[in-house]
Amino acid sequence: MNNKIYIDDFIIWQESTDEKLPDFSFIPPMVRRRMSNIEKIAVGLAGKIAPENPNYTTVFASKFGEWGQTIQLIKQFFDEKEMSPAGFSNSVHNAAAGLFSLLTKNTNSYTSIAAGDNTLEMAILKALTEKQDVMVVFAGEHSPDIYSPVLDGEQHAFGMAFLIKHSGKRAIKITHGTDSADTLTFKTMADFLEGRTNTITTKNWAMQND
C-alpha cells in the first residue's frame, strides 16, 4: 500500500431542491438518453475532472448501485414476462464504470465496488494498492419509494470523484487505521477533501495532510 499520495483534483455534488442531477451535458445526446440516474451522477462528475491523458485506473463505488433500474426491470418482467436487454445492460453494477471507460477511451482496468456501509472505505483501499494514478468515484441515486419502509430515512442523490496521484501539490500521508474507527461517510470524505478536516481514520487506513 502506498504511504504517500497526492489529491489535487476533486469534485463533490449533492442533490438539492433546485438540482436533482449534476451537469452531464458534455456527454453525447445519444448516450445520455440511455443512461440511468446513477450513471449520470457518476460519469457526469468523473468526466469533469478526468485528465486528457487516460493513463489512470478507475474505481467506481456505490452501496446500492443501479437499484432504480433494477426495480424497473422487475416490474417489467412482472407485467410483460420479459426484460429489456438495454435495461438489463444498465442494471449491472459496473455499468457506469464501463460507460466511463468507453467515453474517455481509457483502456486501463476499472473496478466496481459495493461493500455495504464500508463501500467508500473499500474503494479507497483498492485505490491505495494501485501503482498508477487512480480515479475514485463514489455515488448514489435518490432512494426509490419502495425502499422507504426498510431505510433509516430518504436517501438523496450524491456523488464525488477525486484523483489519487503519485505526484502533485497536496501531499497526503497514509498510515494504518484502527479497529475502533467509525464508518467512513460521504460527509467525512467531503470535509477532508475540502479542507475542513485534517485527518481521516478508518479501520483499514488513515489519511493526514502532510
The CATH code of the domain that includes 24 is 3.40.47.10
Which pLDDT does position 192 carry in this prediction?
98
Examine residue 88 and state whether it is found in any structural domain, yes or no.
Answer: yes
Which pLDDT does position 78 carry in this prediction?
75
Examine residue 49 and state whether it is found in any structural domain, yes or no.
Answer: yes
Examine residue 157 and state whether it is found in any structural domain, yes or no.
Answer: yes
Examine residue 177 and state whether it is found in any structural domain, yes or no.
Answer: no
Stretches where the chain sits below pLDDT 70 are 77, 83-91
Give, in order, the Cα–Cα distances in Å from 60 to each of 9, 152, 190: 16, 24, 16
For residues 32 and 28, give the distance between their C-alpha atoms in angstroms, rounded to a whole number. Answer: 6
Examine residue 30 and state whether it is found in any structural domain, yes or no.
Answer: yes
Which pLDDT does position 84 carry in this prediction?
67
Examine residue 163 and state whether it is found in any structural domain, yes or no.
Answer: yes
Which pLDDT does position 68 carry in this prediction?
76
For residues 95 and 65, give the distance between their C-alpha atoms in angstroms, rounded to a whole number. Answer: 9
Which pLDDT does position 196 carry in this prediction?
97
Which pLDDT does position 6 carry in this prediction?
97
For the purposes of burial, counting CB atoms within 10 Å of the CB of 135, is it exposed (0-12), middle (13-18) or buried (19 or more)? buried
| Three cell numbers written together for 57 | 485506473
Which pLDDT does position 60 carry in this prediction?
97
Examine residue 15 and state whether it is found in any structural domain, yes or no.
Answer: yes
pTM over 0.85: yes
Structural domain that includes position 115: 4-171
Examine residue 95 and state whether it is found in any structural domain, yes or no.
Answer: yes
pLDDT digits (tens, 9 = 90+) for 108-153: 999 999 999 999 999 999 999 999 999 999 999 998 888 778 887 7
For residues 172 and 54, give the distance between their C-alpha atoms in angstroms, rounded to a whole number. Answer: 23
Instruction: Please state the domain count of the chain.
Output: 1
